[in-house]
Structure 1
């Protein structure tokens, strides 16, 4: 995990130019991950930490021409790579920290976040902000195209019990951040944790 936004930007800025070619076979996994959001025509969805925007074509398919797709990332070089790849045709590209989004409360129906949690200096702050901008009952997909064990092996590190994405850690983190974990899948073929946004304590929850 990085300790501040400057470290995050430096890490991804150095990798932005060839990010698309590093993992050329991930598109089917992204499509499958987005499908779990069960998006509908006209909805609004955010790709949080969008990188080069690989999920954005599938998000656009989900919400249709009348929906809203936004991709937000902290690293200008990643957004530039997304623009070069034509991802701006599928939605708006925002230079923004996920812990301080330029969106109103309850603006979104769903959030897709690929590989985001492991790079955050303050995961709880980001998840709380994502909950703020998502309507009650809205959905969050925390995704990675390979599972935790496969990713650790790729990076040459041990998988430890303090991994934020481990279910015993992630569930309470989400619960304290305005979300309820609804499903959890972690295999070599992919990681996907689905959560639902909760109404704030004391909020009006009448249908």
Structure 2
């Protein structure tokens, strides 16, 4: 395991048990972001960096019983918290690195990723791996339940021009990794960038 991966795993393992109680009001924001993905009955979707599985129930509701819902995370403690919360019933949980997914190419219709991009050690390569597992025309949602300014303020920082999630930076990054940015919202109450997998 790389130092980057070990650091991410250590960070989230220490916070897994109390994660959901720290952010108890995020449910509606997750549901709204999943709705914006435009999933249909029977679709196949991955929650990349699923953490405690907060997106899994709305993802399951969107694709119905005939759809496939996968949740992938690098941190065992996060997946254990997802199971304790009963979210393991909503989809199949995978202990894996989103940089090397054990999935066939073009096997998914969509990827949902909440808070993931800030923790990717090699964002362009990692987003290219997400593109690999999605069919052409499939969708990626990069989500956070609060916007960039609110998140920076929460951590006592300011937004800098090199922030990966700034629209020009993100558009360029997605384009270089097989995605085309189609919609971008950075508001106090949420961050949501939608992209379509290029052919």
TM-score (norm 1): 0.94
The within-5 A match list for 1:66-145 is 66-145=66-145
Residue in 2 aligned with 1:203? none
Deviation at 1:3, TM superposition (A): 6.3
1:104-163: CA deviations, max 9, x gaps?
000100000000000111111110000000000000000000000000001111110010
1:47-94: CA deviations, max 9, x gaps?
000000000000001100000000000000000000100111100000
- In structure 1, what is the Cα distance between the partners aligned to 2:3 and 2:95? 19
Residue in 1 aligned with 2:192? 192
The within-5 A match list for 1:170-181 is 170-181=170-181
The within-5 A match list for 1:157-176 is 157-176=157-176
Aligned residues between the structures: 198
1:17-76: CA deviations, max 9, x gaps?
100100000000000000011110111000000000000000001100000000000000
TM-score (norm 2): 0.98
- In structure 2, what is the Cα distance between the partners aligned to 1:105 and 1:119? 23
- In structure 2, what is the Cα distance between the partners aligned to 1:87 and 1:140? 21
The answer on whether the counterparts of 1:3 and 1:121 sit within 8 Å (CA) in structure 2 is no
- In structure 1, what is the Cα distance between the partners aligned to 2:141 and 2:162? 21
Q: Secondary structure at the match of 1:83?
A: helix
Q: Secondary structure at the match of 1:157?
A: coil
1:156-192: CA deviations, max 9, x gaps?
1111001000001000000000000000000101000
- In structure 2, what is the Cα distance between the partners aligned to 1:38 and 1:65? 17
Q: Secondary structure at the match of 2:37?
A: coil
- In structure 1, what is the Cα distance between the partners aligned to 2:167 and 2:33? 18
- In structure 2, what is the Cα distance between the partners aligned to 1:12 and 1:98? 15
- In structure 1, what is the Cα distance between the partners aligned to 2:117 and 2:62? 23
Stretches of structure 1 lacking an aligned partner (at least 5 in a row): 200-207
Stretches of structure 2 lacking an aligned partner (at least 5 in a row): none
Q: Which runs of 4+ in 1 moved over 6 A?
A: none
